[in-house]
Chain A
């Protein structure tokens, strides 16, 4: 069967009453969560993951729901950025730069509608690219042996360290902490018990759900308590202005370029929407030339670029998750963990063995993007009103949802304390300028990384040179090295150039 046939199979999965309502609900809930200031896609998915898990849905339905929340939140993030100048998360920061000035000029409606269209464009283009490339990549990746997987993992962590966070050593450290958390429990190959300290609850490892909800949900709650906005937020009225066809035509190339940039960056393992929106914004600013000087004062291209890019990145991040089983962002790491909870191992074989999951998810993203546009254009006023919910009510709500989720899955009050402790730890890491995505990536990839390394060395009989045999592995290590050292080299080159320009001319 060709791609089109599989895609139709996916649509058949989506257009069942249950899955269709889950797509719509996920998109709606995601938009709400994204619109809330301070709560981004990753926290939203983390808080709702245990509840989605304990509903007893089949895996494809649960994934369709969670993915809907993910890209819905990516969509809704622009609302608080534009109206409040408060980004929901890192990927929405660039949207504030031109979105909020437009709103303050009285063009909030135009800004919201334009960014909705840009989001739709980016999201849809990304799903189309995903449909075309994912099966091909999966077919190619089927031939990967354990040594290629080890190289892929090294590549993922190298791009992560160089692109995420300000301090790459801290990013690496976060990833190692995650990898260490993943070693707790019984070693599947030998049955040896590691790092459980005699606690029987730890034999199966620390529950993924508790880690996610502690590090993201509870840590987020602490951050909200700390940065609590006292007094009322100043909400810019939405007004009657709307996007015109002229606006859309003016930004069509911006949207196309930014979507492609977003998709490619999203595909790179480890990097997600925040990097994509920053790169797209910078590129458009440079390409705009003279016009670029108006960026930051409410220019429509400056608004369309990051919005197309971050939604395209959300789609792109699905590619490595579905085809290789290596997530492209922190949020897809959580989705991958969700699949593992259902005993589904994402990877190249999933397209053949569980097509209803892979293709159902892809088809649901087509439906979801259309639904988001339809929901968002007329209902933006409702979402804007969500922004005025005082944080005093948000803070207990996050805790209650987290408690319901953890308790209904594990049914053990001990784990509630573990979750709170992880929340404090996550807050501390954020305070020290660590990003949490590498930690969760480490937790999710830990077992895969170790097992592939051990399998590779079993094949070679303990000879480490197997890791650098074959053209694919060598290419990946070269890419990893260039990803790791490129920013350093660029920084040095720039410094050299500055130093040269400092030399007074004679």
Chain B
């Protein structure tokens, strides 16, 4: 079933990709293939693979039930929140909150998770910006 759903999605992707490919046109074309031929070839290969997958799907993978999917949703949400706060809060504060939160959620004790978050945020910032001279958002902290 999962393979069939994925195969359908890929077939739709192939169709959508193909529709665009057939509309591509170069104003001045120097080579016989132009920008559209390669995407057309890929459309056919992906389409053929998708049809094969629909016809002969593999056995169903184990999705691990609601609890495992729930954990993944939390992880994805945590990552998105981290991305959202990365610039406004700056690397240090965002990382402290994110790392402590996710470590705690992944099973660390609250106190150790908090210490871990603090260390990762502060040491990470100092190492990355001072030692490695990388560009990271500073946020409201003035140093």
Q: Name the interface residues of B102-117: CB closer than 8 Å to any CB of A.
A: 102-104, 106-108, 113, 116-117
Docked-complex contact A393 and B116, CB < 8 angstroms: yes
Docked-complex contact A183 and B10, CB < 8 angstroms: no
Docked-complex contact A169 and B49, CB < 8 angstroms: yes
Partner of B46, one of A177, A191, A390: A177
Q: Mark A374-412, 1 if CB is under 8 A from B, else 0.
A: 000000000000000011110111011001100110010
Docked-complex contact A225 and B95, CB < 8 angstroms: no
Chain A neighbourhood of B117, CB < 8 A: 396
Residue B141, interface by CB 8 Å: no
- Least CB distance from A470 to B in Å reads 19
Chain B neighbourhood of A391, CB < 8 A: 106-107
Docked-complex contact A424 and B76, CB < 8 angstroms: yes
Chain B neighbourhood of A230, CB < 8 A: 107
Partner of A226, one of B10, B33, B71: B71
Docked-complex contact A54 and B53, CB < 8 angstroms: no
Chain B neighbourhood of A433, CB < 8 A: 58, 61
Chain A neighbourhood of B63, CB < 8 A: 431
Residue B79, interface by CB 8 Å: yes
Docked-complex contact A222 and B75, CB < 8 angstroms: yes
Q: Mark B11-39, 1 if CB is under 8 A from A, else 0.
A: 00000010010001111111111110111
Residue B124, interface by CB 8 Å: yes
Partner of A190, one of B29, B39, B95, B103: B29
Residue A195, interface by CB 8 Å: yes
- Least CB distance from A170 to B in Å reads 7
How many residues on chain A are close to B (CB under 8 Å)? 62
Chain B neighbourhood of A167, CB < 8 A: 58
**Stretch in contact with the other chain, from A66-74, A236-244, A304-312, A451-459:** A451-459
Given A173-B46, A403-B86, A432 and B61 contact (CB-CB distance below 8 Å): yes
Given A404-B134, A411-B135, A416-B86, A395 and B33 contact (CB-CB distance below 8 Å): no
Docked-complex contact A393 and B103, CB < 8 angstroms: yes
Q: Name the interface residues of A166-206: CB closer than 8 Å to any CB of B.
A: 166-167, 169-170, 172-173, 176-177, 179-180, 183, 187, 189-192, 194-195
Chain B neighbourhood of A491, CB < 8 A: none
Docked-complex contact B38 and A400, CB < 8 angstroms: no
Residue B142, interface by CB 8 Å: no
Residue of B nearest to A175 (CB): B45
Docked-complex contact B46 and A399, CB < 8 angstroms: no
Docked Cα-Cα span, A139 to B17, in Å, equals 39
Docked-complex contact B32 and A462, CB < 8 angstroms: yes
Partner of B49, one of A173, A192, A453: A173
Given A192-B35, A400-B95, A170 and B53 contact (CB-CB distance below 8 Å): yes
Chain A neighbourhood of B30, CB < 8 A: 189-190, 458
Residue of A nearest to B102 (CB): A396
- Least CB distance from A128 to B in Å reads 35
Docked-complex contact B35 and A194, CB < 8 angstroms: yes
Chain A neighbourhood of B20, CB < 8 A: 194-195
Docked-complex contact A403 and B83, CB < 8 angstroms: yes
Chain B neighbourhood of A399, CB < 8 A: 79, 82, 98-99, 102
Residue of A nearest to B68 (CB): A226
Docked Cα-Cα span, A450 to B28, in Å, equals 18
Docked Cα-Cα span, A166 to B124, in Å, equals 40
- Least CB distance from A2 to B in Å reads 39
Chain B neighbourhood of A417, CB < 8 A: 80, 83
Chain B neighbourhood of A264, CB < 8 A: none
Docked Cα-Cα span, A424 to B77, in Å, equals 11
Chain B neighbourhood of A113, CB < 8 A: none
Q: Name the interface residues of A43-83: CB closer than 8 Å to any CB of B.
A: 51, 54-56
Q: Name the interface residues of A13-63: CB closer than 8 Å to any CB of B.
A: 51, 54-56
- Least CB distance from A427 to B in Å reads 8
Residue B126, interface by CB 8 Å: no
Chain A neighbourhood of B86, CB < 8 A: 403, 407, 413, 416
Docked-complex contact B136 and A432, CB < 8 angstroms: no
Docked-complex contact A228 and B35, CB < 8 angstroms: no
Chain A neighbourhood of B72, CB < 8 A: 222, 225-226, 427
Residue A103, interface by CB 8 Å: no
Docked-complex contact B124 and A420, CB < 8 angstroms: no
Residue A218, interface by CB 8 Å: yes
Docked-complex contact A403 and B82, CB < 8 angstroms: yes
- Least CB distance from B106 to A in Å reads 4
Residue B139, interface by CB 8 Å: no
Q: Name the interface residues of B84-143: CB closer than 8 Å to any CB of A.
A: 84, 86-87, 91, 95, 98-99, 102-104, 106-108, 113, 116-117, 120, 124, 128, 132-137
- Interface CB pairs A-B, < 8 A, 19: A51-B134, A180-B17, A187-B35, A190-B34, A192-B35, A222-B72, A222-B76, A392-B108, A395-B102, A396-B99, A396-B116, A396-B120, A399-B79, A404-B136, A407-B86, A408-B134, A420-B76, A453-B33, A454-B37
Q: Which 10 A-B pairs have the closest CB atoms?
A: A462-B32, A392-B106, A416-B83, A392-B108, A190-B26, A408-B134, A396-B99, A187-B35, A173-B49, A192-B35
User: In the complex, given contacts A180-B17, A432-B3, what are 17 additional A-B residue pairs having Cβ atoms less than 8 angstroms apart?
Assistant: A56-B133, A173-B49, A187-B35, A190-B35, A192-B27, A194-B20, A221-B79, A225-B75, A390-B107, A393-B103, A396-B117, A403-B86, A417-B80, A432-B2, A433-B58, A453-B33, A454-B37
Q: Which residues of A contact B (CB under 8 A)?
A: 51, 54-56, 166-167, 169-170, 172-173, 176-177, 179-180, 183, 187, 189-192, 194-195, 218, 221-222, 225-226, 228, 230, 390-393, 395-397, 399-400, 403-404, 407-408, 411, 413, 416-417, 420, 423-424, 427-428, 431-433, 450, 453-455, 457-458, 461-462
